[in-house]
Chain A
Amino acid sequence: MFVKLAVKSLLNRKGSALLTLLAMSVSIFVLLGVEHIRTQSKDSFANTVSGVDLIVGARTSSLNLLLYSVFRVGSPSNNISWQSFQAIAANPKVAWAIPISLGDSHKGYRVLGTTADYFQHFSYGKQHKLRFAQGQAFEQVFDVVLGAEVAHQLGYHLGDKLVLAHGIATTSFALHDDKPFQVVGILAPTVTPVDQTVHVSLAGIEAIHKNWQQGGATPSPSSITAGMVGLKSRMATFAVQREINNYRQEPLLAILPGVALSELWQMMGLLENTLRLISVLVLVAALLGLSAMLLASIREREREIQLLRVIGAPPWFLFLLIELEAVLISSLSIVCGATLLYLSLISLGDVLTLQFGLHVSANIFSIHSVYLLLLVILATLIAAAIPSLQAYRNRFNN
C-alpha cells in the first residue's frame, strides 16, 4: 500500500516526474559512462605489455621511451646501436631480448621491425601470449604479419601483397613500390596497440630502406629503435637496469614497463579527475532538480498530506513516503541510464575504437559500478531529505 501510494502519486504528476526522471537518467548515463570508460581505459592501459621486464632505448625520458616503444606514439629521438643491443642480449642474466625497429608506416599503421622471437616472448594483459588467428610468423625478408585491426580494417588476407612506405604519413611520397611484401600471418585481437601494428623482420626494414632486392643476402641492421628484455630472474631487474643505464659505449635507458605505465596513468590523473568531477556535478544538479520537484509537489499536496495525518499517518510515514518517491525515481533513472549506456556502447563501440583507439566492453556492471549506484541512491536519500522533512514537519494549519 505504501509503495502503491508513492507510485500512484508520482503517476499523478507524470509531467514533472518524467522530466526529473529524464534529467536523472542523463546524469546516471554520464556518471556510469565516465566511470566505465575510465576504468576500462586504465585496464587496457595497464594491460598493453606484460612479461617484459625491461625496455631499453636511447637515453630520453622514461615516458617518451614507453610511448614510442609500446604505444607507437611520437618518434624516437635516437636509435641504439646493434652492438649495444647484442651486448645486452649476451648478458648472462638476460633470458631473451627482442629488437624493435620503428619509423615506417603502411596506410597510417605503424610498421614494426623485429625478430620472430617477438611472437614468442611478447605478452599482454595477464600474461597472454600473442596468438596467430591465421598463418604464422615471418620467415622471409618480405613476409609480413598483421595486427588484427590492420587486417580487418584494410581487408587483407593471407597471401595478399602490400607496399610498405618509409616515413609515417599515410601519403608518403617515398612509397617503396618495388617492395611487394606478402601477408604470411594475422594475429588474433589483443586490444592493445599490437592490433594496429604491421610486423616485419628486421631484414625487411633494412630492405625497405636500402633498396634490397628479394633474394639478396640478409642484411644485419646497424641500429634499432629499442629493445624488450626478459630476465632469467625477476630479482635481477634492478641490477640489470643499472648496468644498462651505466653502459659505457652509448647512453642508454632501461625502464620497467609497469612503473612507467603507472607514471603515465598518473599524468592523465588530472584529466581523469576533471571528468569525474564533471559527472558528479551533473549528478548533483539532477539531484537538486529532484529535490526541487518534490518540494514543489509538497506545496501542491499540502491537503493530501494533512488528510493522511488526520487518518492517522505518523509524521515519519510522510517522511518515508517522500523518500520512497525519490528513490523510485532514481532507481528507474539508474535502469534507464544504464540501459542507454549499454545500448550506446554496443552501437558506438566501433566508433570509439576507430576514433580514439579505445576498446570499451559493453559490460558496464562491476563491483565498482554497483558501489557507485549505491552511492547514487544514498545521495538521493540525502537530497530528498529536505522535501521529506518538509512533509514530516507539515503542521495542521487550516
Chain B
Amino acid sequence: MPATMTTTSALQSVLARQGHDGTRLMQILRETQEALGWLSPPVLTEIARDIGWPRARVESTAGFYSFFHTRPLGRYRVLWSDNITDRMLGNIDLMQAMCEKLWLEPGRVSEDGLVSVDTTSCTGMCDQGPALLVNYRAVTRMTPRRVEAMVDLIRAETPVAAWPAEWFAVEDNIRRKDILLGNALVPGEALAAALERGAAAMLDEIKRSGLRGRGGAGFGTGLKWEACRDAMGEAHYVICNADEGEPGTFKDRVLLTRYADLVFEGMTIAGHVVGAKKGLLYLRGEYRYLLEPLESVLAARRAAGLLGGNILGQPFDFDIEVHLGAGAYICGEESALIESLEGKPGRPRIRPPFPVTHGYLGQPTTVNNVETLAAACLVAKHGGEWYSKVGTTKSAGSKILSVSGDVERPGIYEYPFGVTVQQVLNDAGIEGCTQAVQVSGPSGVTLGQNELERRIAFEDIPTAGALMVFDCTRDMFEVARNFAHFFAHESCGFCTPCRVGTTVVARLMDKLATGHGSPYDIDEMFKMHRLMQGASHCGLGNSACNPMFDTLNKFRPAYERRLKSLDYEPAFDLDAALSQARQMTGRDDAAAHLANVEES
C-alpha cells in the first residue's frame, strides 16, 4: 500500500519541522500519528529513509511506547486511567458501561474502525478521577452521565475539539502552600539574583542550601551540578524530568500549570551554573495538553530577554525546548529518559558512566526533577543559608505532596520536611479510620495504622511526592495487585528478572485473586522479591515487589482470606477445564466433577 498524497505531504511537513533529525524521532512519531491516526508500515519506512536510520530502529522505538500504534486503533481512542485511586472511584464499572454502550470489548477496536477502549497507567489526575485520555487528551471526573454523553459524541463522530470544554478542565487543587508555592517571585527575579552571584557562587549557595533531588533518590543537587560542570564535553545540557509517572503523583503537573516560569527559571539557573546552552524538558505524554501553554510561557520568556541570547544583558545564552514522551513510566528513570530524548526506546543505560559525565548525546548532563529546579529559584533569591533553615537538618526545604484516595480534600499540600503523615491526613480530612497510606507510589512504602507518626524526610520516609490513603473498607490485597500489574505493564523488558519476574508476580496475584492460591505461592512471591531486588538493572525492577512485600508483612489476612487450601495448588484448574466437556455432554452430575470423583 503506497503512501497516499495527503499522507506524504503531512509526513513531509512533520519531517521538515523536525529537521529530518533522528534524535527527534519521538516528536516525529507523535506528530505523524497526530496527523495520520496511526503509524503504518510504509510510513515507518519513509521516516527511516528520511532520517537515515535503519528501519528496524525506527520500528523498535515505535513499538516500545504505549501511545504509539503500529496498527489502527480507531478514530477515537479512549484510555481509562487505571491507578488504584481511579479504581476506588469506580473506573472499571464506568469503562464497562462505556464498552457495553459501544458494543465493544476492552482492548478491541470496533468493527467499523471507529473506536477502541482500554486502560492505561495512572494519568496523574488522582485528585479528580476517574480520569481518562481521549486521543491522548486528559479528561477528568468521569460520571455515568458523562459516559453516556461521550458515547453519543463518538457515535456522531463529533471531533474531540468540539466536545464540552469542562470535561477537559484540570483543577490545581492547591490546599496548602509553603515557601515554594507561596513564593512572591516575579519572572526573572531569581535569575537576576543568580547571574549577579555568578556561576561559581551560585553553585556554592546550592550546596549550602542542602537542596536534595525531589525525584525520589534525594541526590544532592549541588554535587550533581558540580559534577556536571566539572565534566569535560563539547556541550553541557540541563534536563528537566517532567515524566511524573509514579502512580499517585501529580505535583509536577501543578507546578507546570501554575509555576511554569519558576521551573524554566530553575533550568536557566542550572544552565548558567553547569555551563549549558540548551535545556530540555521531558513532559510525559499524558500531559500533552500542557504543551502549548508551556510553549507560550517559553515564548514570553524569550520576549522578555529571560531566554535566548545575552540573557538579562549578560554574556549568557540559553534556550529550552519541550519534548513529549509517549506513555512509558520507565522514561522517568534518568538514563532511559535520555535514551528517549535521543529517539530510542526508553531502556536504562549501564551506569556508570552517569549522565553527569555521559548524558544526552554523550555529553555532560544534569537531570533534575521539576520541583528541584523550581526550588533552586528560592535558593538563588534568598540564599542557601535561608533555605537550609527550613525543614530538618538532613532534609532542607519543603516538599510538595500529591494527596489522593480516601480523604475529604485530595490535592496538593506543601510542607516543610519533617511533617508527620498523620498531620497530612488531618489537614486533608479523614472520615472514619485509615487502614494504610502508600507513600511515594507503588515503588515506595505501604504504611500501616501504627506508622502514621513517621515523618516525610529523607532520613525517615523519602518520597517523590505521592501519598495515597486507604480507609478500613479497602482491600489491601487488591491495592497490591493493581500495583503488580502496573509494574508488569511498565517493565521496559531489558533485563530478565524484571521483564519476566513482574509478569510472574502479577500472575501469582491473579491466581490468589481467583481463589487458587496457597501458602506456596506466597513463598514464591518472597522469592521473586529477593531475586528482583538484587538482580534487576534499574530501580523499577528493584522496587517492583515492594507493595507485595509490605502488604504481605503488614496486611497478611488480606492474602490469607484468599488461600484455597494450605497446600500446593496448581494454577491450572482441572475441574474447570472439564466444564466445556460437561457442557457438550450435557452432564453436571457429581461424578462429572473431579473433586467429587476423587472423594468417592
* A and B: interacting chains: no
Q: Which residues of A are in contact with B by a Cβ distance under 8 Å?
A: none
